[in-house]
């Protein structure tokens, strides 16, 4: 007969008694996804922070956690949860554009939280919180997205990379116009922000 307690799992086999402990502490995980391709093929790196714990109050979740993690150390449990979260984070990045991720961080965080929570509940783990900490890349794809109307672009490469995420016909028009225009920054501004 197996007996499940909030603090331990006891196994009783013919006069042989052993106990194993499973940690109910909150785990803080840094979820890093490096060079994941967005919907338009732009590679970005995303870092999120998640708080999660094994639910001791819910008997079904505790039983599931005991079945999955009994005998594993806290770092091993954290690694399993981290791999699961990272997989969900990568999947959501692949369905969004850089602009959607960068401009609407709350929506991105909510999507990761929702999808990961439903999967981790089956393991007996509840996601307490998930926050998007950082979005970056090795190039300059998302930097123009937060420019104000008075900010000139640093160089033509920045604009070309930004427009590549948009539509190809605008990219071609802008590129051809830059070669003939005396003041390319003004022209670029008109194409991107006033069309």
| Distances, alpha carbon 111 to alpha carbons 40, 48, 71, 104, 114, in Å | 19, 12, 32, 11, 5
Question: Structural domain tally of the chain?
Answer: 2
Report pTM. 0.62
Cβ contact 157:136 at 8 Å: no
With respect to residue 11, please indicate whether it lies within any of the assigned structural domains.
no
What was the pLDDT predicted at 18? 57
Which residues partner with 103 through β-bridges?
none
Better-predicted residue by pLDDT, 167 or 92: 92
Q: Is residue 72 part of a domain?
A: yes
Residue 120 is encoded by which pair of tokens? 């981790």
Alpha-carbon gap, residue 100 to 105, rounded angstroms: 8
Contact between residue 55 and residue 123 where contact means Cβ atoms under 8 Å apart:
no
Q: Which residue did the predictor score with more confidence, 162 or 173?
A: 162
Q: In terms of Cα–Cα distance, which of 61, 58, 60, 72 is closest to 23?
A: 72
The answer as to whether 19 is a domain residue is no
Q: Could you read off the pLDDT of 3-28 as tens digits, one per residue?
A: 554 544 455 555 455 566 788 889 99
- Condensed to tens digits (0 to 9), the pLDDT of residues 69-123 reads 888 889 999 999 999 999 999 999 999 888 888 888 899 999 999 999 988 999 9
Is there a single domain that holds both residue 46 and residue 95?
A: yes
Which residue range(s) make up the domain with 47?
Answer: 24-136
Residues 124, 183, single domain; the answer is no
Residue with structure tokens 């948009």? 166
- Residue at 183 is within a domain: yes
Residue 72 is predicted with a pLDDT of 87
Structural domain includes residue 106: yes
Is the predicted pLDDT of residue 135 greater than 70, yes or no?
A: yes
* Structure token digits, residue 153: 């672009």
């Amino acid at each position: 007969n197996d007996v499940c307690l909030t603090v331990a799992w006891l196994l009783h086999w013919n006069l042989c008694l052993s106990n194993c402990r499973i940690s109910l502490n909150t785990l803080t995980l840094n979820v890093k996804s490096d060079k994941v391709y967005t919907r338009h093929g732009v590679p970005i790196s995303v870092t999120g922070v998640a708080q999660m714990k094994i639910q001791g109050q819910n008997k079904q979740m505790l039983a599931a956690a005991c079945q999955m993690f009994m005998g594993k150390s806290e770092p091993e449990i954290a690694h399993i949860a981290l791999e699961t979260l990272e997989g969900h984070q990568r999947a959501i990045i692949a369905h969004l554009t850089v602009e959607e991720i960068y401009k609407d961080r709350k929506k991105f965080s909510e999507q990761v939280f929702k999808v990961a929570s439903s999967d981790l509940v089956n393991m007996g783990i509840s996601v307490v919180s998930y926050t998007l900490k950082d979005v970056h890349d090795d190039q300059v794809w998302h930097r123009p997205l937060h420019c104000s109307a008075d900010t000139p672009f640093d160089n033509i490469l920045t604009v070309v990379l930004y427009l590549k995420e948009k539509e190809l016909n605008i990219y071609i028009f802008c590129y051809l116009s830059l070669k003939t225009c005396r003041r390319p920054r003004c022209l670029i501004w008109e194409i991107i922000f006033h069309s």
